[in-house]
Amino acid sequence: MTPIRRLALVFIVLLGGCSHFDYTSVHVNIGAIKLADAGANGTDAVFTLNIMNETMFPIVIEEERHKITLNGTYVGEGTNKDSYGLPNLKVTTRQVTVHLSDAAAVERVRDAIKNGGTYSIETRLITNAAGDHDKVTTTSTGRLLLGAN
């Protein structure tokens, strides 16, 4: 690598570390839902989420929390505390487990798996961009297309 290219790379990295990200360009959608037996604690729903980073910069996610609503009814909240990188202009697939507290919640999820419908996900990301920690909330909505699976 030539000295000019090396200097340009350092400049880009430093400039990127000093800028604030546009987190409105991070979207989440549901790719799949599975019910899982949680033993004596009842039933869990495992949501496969597609997290899209439409920014020009990669983002380090330190924690994520997802509040999930299916067909207009709140189902529950799932949290991941595993750090990972969200590449720029890419989709990353993550799984989050939501404990379903009662039989009605299990039936709502079972119905959504079978018949589809709508969803809303309020996602809170705790990010680390060049040492700057941000808490960002984004809400994504869409239609479930799970019955075809």
Give per-residue pLDDT as tens, 87-115.
Answer: 989 999 999 999 998 889 999 999 999 99
Give per-residue pLDDT as tens, 37-48.
Answer: 877 677 899 999
What does the alpha-carbon distance between residue 3 and residue 54 come to, in Å, rounded to a whole number? 31
Look up residue 120 and give its amino acid. Answer: S
What does the alpha-carbon distance between residue 67 and residue 3 come to, in Å, rounded to a whole number? 48
Give per-residue pLDDT as tens, 60-88.
Answer: 899 999 999 999 999 999 999 999 998 98
Please count the helices (runs of H) and the strands (runs of E) in the chain. 2, 8
- Whole-model pTM: value is 0.78
> At 40, is the secondary structure helix, strand, or coil?
helix
Of the candidates 98, 79, 93, 88, the one whose C-alpha atom is nearest the C-alpha of residue 51 is 93
Predicted pLDDT of residue 75:
93
